[in-house]
Amino acid sequence: MKYMTAEPFRIKVVEKLKKSTKKERLEYLKTAQYNAFRLKAENVYVDCLTDSGTSAMSNEQWSALMLGDESYAGCKSFYKLEKSAQDVFGMPYIQPTHQGRAADYIMAQIYAKKGFYAIGNMHFDTFRGNAEMLGALAVDYVINEGAKANDQYHPFKGNIDLNKMQSLIDEKGKENISVVIITVTCNNNGGQPVSMQNIREVSTLAKKHDIPVVIDSARLAENAYFIQQREEGYKNTPIKEITREMFSYCETATMSAKKDGMVNMGGLFITRNKEVFEVANQLAIAHEGFITYGGLSGRDLEALAVGLQEGCEESYLEYRTNQVKYLGDRLKEFGVPIIEPTGGHGVYVDGRKFFPQIPQSEFPSQRLVVALYEEAGVRAVELGACAFGSKDPETGAPIWPELETMRIAISRRVYTNSHMDVIANALGDIYKNREKYKGMKLVYEGKITSLRHFTAGFELL
Ligand code: F0G
């Protein structure tokens, strides 16, 4: 294996990238009010805003597109997807949706209830938004090691803290908790995995109190790979055996297929509970499309059927996690503070440690996003004071989040390690000159604070 550590694929089609000048980028930034979401993608050199829907499909996926059966009901493509998803999840009932948040919507309608608690490691925004609209109380109970951006090693920083979960059950009563949602990997704190032991123990505790367990499985294969690499007893277990065991502990799973499904669009709602499935089918008919296409075209279903299998290939997962680690290691060489160990889908830079002179009220991680784009045309995303900040409902006083990071999300099978070097070298330079940077002022946020990072406007201080 000594000579076989590079990409387990070769490149058949390329997409040209535009290189801009620093002067041009300063103009683009001004026009975008210093919000990376508002930049035009054509003006980005290496796009690390997200790993969602940005994967390169394989030749097998592209050829599967031609097999797409576009029949309204009972199309052939659905049965291929059903078989593939059953194989990965080990669960019987499969409802496609147009993307992950549509599955979140259906799941929230079924499992979130007004005035009831929804426990999670760290809920992703789209479930949280749905839950809050329904009046549910979404709480994050990730273990303390995962609640802070730090370089302290823990193999499974996405784990749920069982003591916190038990305390809520004792304090509020099991009848006031409607669901536990485990997000694998945990996106908000660094793409950090959840161990099999934790999934099992959370499930046992929940079952004891009749609380259903749901797994948000956007990055299920990356999580399974970390279990194989880091958890005792799984070294020789094939990835799909691991995924099937993970899902044996839950009633229902949602998936944004735009991540480990290796497709540009798609989602899944999967369950072992027939009654839940029937409700999901009707919600899908009302909001997504008929049961067997759920808002996707036949060709999308075909690409996902193939992509789910490719996402679980061990050689791919080894390359994938190694590329993320490579970027993390290069950044560490420059002394750049990152969340360690690196997770599945990106490197998260600690904004507070990077710019200690910039308080959270002046958005240090957002400042870093702007600096990185200005320096090298690389687009990352803030996950800190802007994205997770909130306001006291009574006084309107700002509440700053514990986590203050810039996420550099790595698209699947898209960039080479030379692109990783561009990112690392640029951040290394910014880090050398870090003292000269000042913060930012939020000048526009829109009505819904929890969604402001998509549309916010800033000025440089
Ligand atoms: N769950 C998780 C854990 C996610 O990361 C996402 C999307 C969703 C659900 C929603 O899925 O986008 O298909 O509707 N995360 C993207 C990101 C947007 O950049 O992390 P979707």
The whole-angstrom separation of Cα 257 and Cα 308 is 8
Active site residue 326: no
What is each CA distance from 393 to 134, 166, 390, 396, 398, in whole angstroms?
Answer: 17, 27, 9, 6, 10
Atom of ligand 1 nearest to the CA of 99: 13
Which of 342, 296, 351 has the alpha carbon at shortest distance from 323? 342
Atom of ligand 1 nearest to the CA of 257: 13
The pTM for the full model equals: 0.97
Three-class DSSP category at 17: coil
CA distance 156 to 143: 9
**Residue 125 is a catalytic residue:** yes
Residue ranges of domains in the chain, CATH in brackets? 22-51+314-460 (3.90.1150.10), 59-310 (3.40.640.10)
* Ligand 1 atom, smallest distance to 219 CA: 3
Q: Are 161 and 180 in contact (CB under 8 A)?
A: no
* Of residues 133, 147, 209, the one with CA closest to residue 178: 209
According to DSSP, residue 423 is labeled H
Choice among 124, 141, 316, 363 that is catalytic: 124
Instruction: Give the tokens for residue 2.
Output: 């000594």
Assess whether the C-beta atom of 228 lies below 6 angstroms from ligand 1. no
Q: Is 348 in the pocket of ligand 1 (CB under 6 A)?
A: no
Tell me whether residue 72 is one of the annotated catalytic residues: yes
- Report the residue count for the chain: 461
Q: What pLDDT sits at residue 393?
A: 82
The pLDDT of residue 372 is 98
Strand 378-379, strand 46-47: pairing: parallel
- What is the spatial distance between Cα 358 and Cα 163, in angstroms, rounded to a whole number? 35
Statement: residue 270 has pLDDT above 90: yes
Mean pLDDT over 272-278 rounds to 98
Which residue among 121, 123, 124, 379 has the greatest number of ligand 1 atoms within 8 angstroms of its CB, and so is best to mutate?
A: 124
Determine if residue 110 is left, alpha or beta; phi over 0 gives left, psi from -120 to 50 gives alpha, anything else beta: alpha
What is the C-alpha to C-alpha distance for residues 157 and 166, in angstroms, rounded to an integer? 19
The CA 108 to ligand 1 mean position distance, Å, reads 15
Q: Which two tokens stand for residue 296?
A: 């996707």
| 58 C-beta closer than 6 A to ligand 1 | no
Q: Residue 76: which H helix or E strand, with range?
A: helix 76-89
When mean pLDDT is compared across 73-82, 125-134, 256-265, 438-447, the lowest value belongs to 125-134
Closest CA to 327 of 318, 338, 317, 316: 338
Cβ(128) – ligand 1 distance below 6 Å? no
Burial of 155 from C-beta contacts in 10 A (0-12 / 13-18 / 19+): middle
Residue 1 makes CB contacts below 8 A (sequence gap 6+) with none
The tokens for 287 are 């909001």
pLDDT band at 456 (very low <50, low <70, confident <90, very high): very high
Task: Compute the distance from residue 342 Cα to the ligand 1 centre, in Å.
Answer: 19
* pLDDT per residue as tens digits for the range 189-233: 999 999 999 999 999 999 999 999 999 999 999 999 999 999 999
218 is catalytic: yes
In the reported structure, the alpha carbon of residue 128 is separated from the centroid of ligand 1 by a whole-number distance in angstroms of 12
Region 7-31: what's the mean pLDDT? Answer: 97
The interaxial angle of helices 162-172 and 196-208, nearest 10 deg, is: 10
* Angle at which helices 239-248 and 196-208 cross, to 10°: 20
pLDDT of 4 strictly over 80: no
List the catalytic residue out of 69, 216, 260, 300.
216
> What is the 126 CA–ligand 1 centroid distance (Å)?
7
CA of residue 48 to ligand 1 center, whole Å: 14
Span from the CA of 335 to the centroid of ligand 1 (angstroms): 30
